[in-house]
Structure 1
Amino acid sequence: MALPHAVAAMALLTSLAPATSAQLPSCPQIFGHGGYPTGPDGWQRDQVRQTNNPTAISRYRGWGAAGVEADLQLTKDGTKAVMWHNTSTWGLSGPKRDVTAIWWAAGADQLKGRTITRGIFKGETVYTFRDWLTAMKADGMAGLVEIKPETRQSLLNADASIKSRAWSEVLGPVKEHYQGQEIILYSHDAGIAAELRRQVQAAGLPSKLLTGGPVWPEVTKWEEPPPSWTLNKGAWATALNSGAKRIATDYTPQLAAWLKGKCR
């Protein structure tokens, strides 16, 4: 017969033993997000970390991401859907202009051919939404696409021809790609988000294009240089233990490393 103190010792050892693989939660997919400085002048400190080009997509995949969050803008009057995050061309070569005020491939200030002038993706160029989706498919990445508020200029335009052209620029590439890769569309702008739902339904596209995004647990506000990733460990643990299937992060390699041994 086991002695009481031996039983207690065994229970203590069991409680202190590391969790077995079967006891660990499932590992969430990581969605990489390029951090953007906060505050009204954040654009001046922006280091263009966003995953809006093939070089960035491959880099984030190598860091451990299964998907990325990227940014869709529209050039003047909805003539071209492009992948860029700033309101203006700040961070790109050429004169500073609002993206909604210039054409993709016409005029002295055109967007096509401009290159990134700072940060880890310096030298990369601006891509169309269609070309970005092709690059995402090549790397096997899921895409969470934010339709930026500036696109109201065309997506909610009172001129029906401008509005129709703009939505074709957004949903046309999606129609071509969604059956072969995962695409999720969203907007922080309430008007765009509501119209997006209507346009997706009217186009006969599946509602899954509007769902399935990650949770965003991080407590840090991005700055340059970045705050310590360790400030987010508690929030990451809460998200993991609550069963999050997907976690978005500004710290892709750090989250991937932190998850090792904590999930299966």
Structure 2
Amino acid sequence: MQNFDFVKPATIAEAVKALNSGDAQALSGGQTLIATMKQGLAGAETLVSLTGIAEMKGVCQGDGGLHIGAATSHATVAREVATTYPALAKLAGGIGDPQVRNRGTVGGSLANNDPAACYPSGALASGATIVTDRREIAADDYFQGLFATALDEGEIITKVIFPIPEKAAYVKFEQPASRFALTGVFVAKFAGGVRVAVTGASNDGVFRWTEAEKALSANFSAAAISGLSVDAGNMISDLHGTAEYRANLVKVLTARAVTAA
């Protein structure tokens, strides 16, 4: 692991300035970045911690739904949205272990966009808005593939706005060692229709299962998707499960999420 400087700005403006000064990398909870730096897979001359920025922490209700600061930990989300958005609270409370939940952050997870992470499915199914220091990005436009997002160089997520659905549930079949989703499905029912987002299954990362959305918007019951199937062509296949296995999991977990909502 290479040597690096460490700065901890107190405001978003200070963080942006530090990130635009030479070879700098934003550091949120560090649960992914530090591990990859130890392995020599990432590095920077300066790490700019975002955890000292008060305006990027906390949960409140505002225009558009729940406003969650990007530097808010998973544990805080699990605790503070349990009554307002139980499905999102369950998602946050099932991430990793206590260390990860208390150190990892909403913004860090979404910025990294791991193909098996839980938060991308919650944000996509909720139709969330990712707010940065420069703009607002709809979740449908934000996720752009494996570890790829709409963020520009040096752009940081400051908060995420989650619309609150009428009903919702998140169900994941987890990889027991990491607690990442082998496959995870978040279903959210809004007045205007149903959104279904899948994580952990596709080589393209998180995606919406539009066929299920159409069927569930007409009839919000597990029976509505009984005749549907998921194409295994672009599903992940590894030692934990074949592409066909993951494709079947998408359908099974979607039905369970609908029943649980």
* TM-score interval, smaller chain: under 0.3
The answer to which structure has the higher strand fraction is 2
**How high is the TM-score relative to the length of structure 1?**
0.27
**How high is the TM-score relative to the length of structure 2?**
0.27
